[in-house]
C-alpha cells in the first residue's frame, strides 16, 4: 500500500485541503421518558413506592430528574441513556402568581441534558452534555431542524470530543413524558411506563472538532482498487466492486491509541463508532473500518459500490457516529 501518502494527521489534513468541519443533524429516539419531580417526599420515603404515581400539583421552584432510554439515532438502532436535570420552574415575562418572572420565557428554565450513546453490544460511543432553557424560539442562526429551545452543546467525550452545536429536547412527541414524584421507586420506570411508551424525538445540530473525510493525494481522492492502484478515469471503479480508502476524522478505536501515536501493526484497531458510507446518496456496505496500521490519525475504510450504480462520476460520503463529512467524487464504469 502507498503508506507514504501521509504519516500523520497534519499531512492528511493538508492533502484534504483543510476543510472546516460542518454540522450534522442527529435525530434521536427516546422511550420510557419519566420525569421525577423533587420536593414531594423527604428522607427515607424518597424512591420507596413501586406504584405508578402522578404529580399532584406544580411547585414554583420545580426541580427534577428525567430519565429515558436512547433507542435509535437517525433510524439506526442503538442503546443509551438520556438524563435531564431541571433546576428551575416555569419562567414568564408576564406577572403570574406562583411563577418566576423574568425577561426570558421558558418552561422549564435552567435545564441540563446528558446523553450517553452505546453500540448495540453495549460498548461506549460517546457522551454529550447540553445546557440551556426550553424556550419556544430557536437560537439565531440555528438550522431549520432546530425550531425551539436555547440549549447549547457544552462538551462531549469519545466520538463527540470537542463537539459544539445546538440541542432541541422535543422536536415531536409521540407520547408525552410521564410525570411522577420523588416518592416513586425509579427501578420501576419500565414497568410503570404509559401504554404509548413515553416516546420523544429530540434533535441535535452537532459540529465536530474534526469530521470524517476521505483524504486527497495528488489532488485525487485516496480511493483504491483491491490491488492498491488508485481509482482514476483511466481505471474506474465497477459497480459491485470492493474499494479501499484512506480517511481521517473517524474517531476513537478499540483498542485505542494515545494521541499522536500510530495505530499498532500487530493487531487491528476497529473504529469504535457506527461507520456509514453512501455512494450517490445510496447506502453502501462497509466491509472494514480500522485505524491504518503504522499510521497516525489515518483510517482504512473498505466499502462495496452498490450493484446497479450508474456509470459516471459518483459522490462518496463517510459518516462516523452519525457525523457526516464532505463528499468526494470518483469515476464508476
Same domain, yes or no: 216 and 176: no
Residue 237 is part of a domain; what is its CATH number?
2.60.40.10
Same domain, yes or no: 321 and 187: no
- Out of 146, 173, 207, pick the residue that ends a domain: 207
Distance CA 229, CA 289 (A): 19
The percent of residues above 70 in pLDDT, for the chain, comes to 93
What are the tens digits of pLDDT across the range 138-155? Answer: 888 889 988 888 799 999
Same domain, yes or no: 14 and 103: no
Same domain, yes or no: 200 and 256: no
For CA atoms 98, 101, 107, 113, give the dihedral sign.
Answer: negative
Beta bridge partners of 92: 101
Same domain, yes or no: 200 and 216: no
Site of grid cell 488508485: 230
Same domain, yes or no: 99 and 229: no
Query: Looking at the 3D structure of the chain, how many domains does it have?
Result: 2
Same domain, yes or no: 62 and 179: yes
Q: Which of 245, 254, 261 is nearest to 299 (CA)?
A: 245
pLDDT score of 19: 57
Tens-digit pLDDT profile for the chain (333 aa)?
Answer: 444 444 444 344 434 445 578 899 999 999 999 999 998 998 899 999 999 999 887 777 888 999 999 999 999 999 999 999 998 878 889 998 888 888 888 877 789 999 999 999 999 999 999 999 887 788 888 899 888 887 999 999 999 999 999 999 886 778 889 999 999 999 999 999 999 899 999 999 999 999 999 999 888 999 999 999 999 999 999 999 999 999 999 999 999 999 999 999 988 999 999 999 999 999 999 999 999 999 999 999 999 999 999 999 999 999 999 999 999 999 999
Mean pLDDT (the chain) is 90
The domain in which residue 299 lies consists of 3-20+210-332
Instruction: Output the pTM of the full model.
Output: 0.89
Between β-strands 242-248 and 299-304, what pairing exists: parallel, antiparallel or unpaired? antiparallel
- Out of 151, 182, 207, pick the residue that ends a domain: 207
Name the burial class of residue 206, with classes exposed (0-12), middle (13-18) and buried (19+) by CB atoms within 10 angstroms of its CB.
buried
Same domain, yes or no: 60 and 165: yes
Same domain, yes or no: 12 and 57: no
Same domain, yes or no: 91 and 214: no
What are the tens digits of pLDDT across the range 81-119? Answer: 999 999 887 888 999 888 888 888 887 778 999 999 999
Same domain, yes or no: 166 and 260: no
Same domain, yes or no: 256 and 214: yes
- Out of 173, 207, 241, pick the residue that ends a domain: 207
Amino acid at each position: 500500500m502507498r503508506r507514504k501518502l501521509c504519516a500523520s494527521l497534519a499531512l492528511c489534513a493538508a492533502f484534504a485541503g483543510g476543510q472546516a468541519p460542518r454540522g450534522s443533524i442527529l435525530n434521536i429516539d427516546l422511550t420510557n421518558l419519566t420525569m421525577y419531580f423533587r420536593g414531594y417526599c423527604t428522607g427515607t420515603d424518597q424512591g420507596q413506592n413501586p406504584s405508578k404515581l402522578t404529580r399532584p400539583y406544580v411547585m414554583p421552584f420545580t426541580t427534577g430528574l428525567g430519565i429515558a432510554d436512547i433507542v435509535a439515532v437517525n433510524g439506526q438502532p442503538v442503546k443509551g441513556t438520556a438524563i435531564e436535570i431541571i433546576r428551575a420552574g416555569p419562567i414568564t415575562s408576564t406577572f403570574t402568581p406562583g411563577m418566576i418572572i423574568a425577561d426570558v420565557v421558558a418552561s422549564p428554565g435552567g435545564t441540563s441534558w446528558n446523553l450517553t450513546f452505546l453500540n448495540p453490544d453495549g460498548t461506549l460511543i460517546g457522551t454529550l452534555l447540553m445546557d440551556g432553557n426550553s424556550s419556544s424560539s430557536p437560537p439565531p442562526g440555528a438550522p431549520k431542524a432546530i425550531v425551539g429551545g436555547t440549549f447549547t452543546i457544552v462538551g462531549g467525550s469519545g466520538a463527540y470530543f470537542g463537539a459544539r452545536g445546538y440541542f432541541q429536547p422535543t422536536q415531536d412527541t409521540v407520547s408525552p413524558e410521564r410525570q411522577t414524584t420523588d416518592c416513586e421507586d425509579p427501578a420501576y420506570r419500565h414497568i410503570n411506563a404509559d401504554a404509548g411508551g413515553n416516546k420523544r424525538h429530540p434533535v441535535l445540530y452537532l459540529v465536530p472538532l474534526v469530521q470524517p473525510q476521505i483524504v486527497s493525494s495528488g489532488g485525487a481522492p485516496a480511493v483504491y482498487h483491491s490491488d492498491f492502484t488508485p481509482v482514476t478515469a483511466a481505471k474506474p471503479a465497477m459497480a459491485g466492486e470492493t474499494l479501499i480508502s484512506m480517511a481521517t476524522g473517524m474517531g476513537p478505536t478499540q483498542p485505542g491509541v494515545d494521541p499522536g501515536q500510530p495505530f499498532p501493526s500487530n493487531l487491528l484497531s476497529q473504529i469504535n463508532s457506527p461507520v456509514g458510507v453512501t455512494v450517490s446518496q445510496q447506502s453502501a456496505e462497509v466491509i472494514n473500518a480500522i485505524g491504518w496500521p503504522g499510521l497516525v490519525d489515518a483510517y482504512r475504510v473498505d466499502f462495496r459500490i452498490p450493484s446497479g450504480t450508474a456509470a459516471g462520476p459518483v459522490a462518496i460520503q463517510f459518516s462516523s457516529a452519525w457525523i457526516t463529512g464532505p463528499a468526494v467524487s470518483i469515476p464508476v464504469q
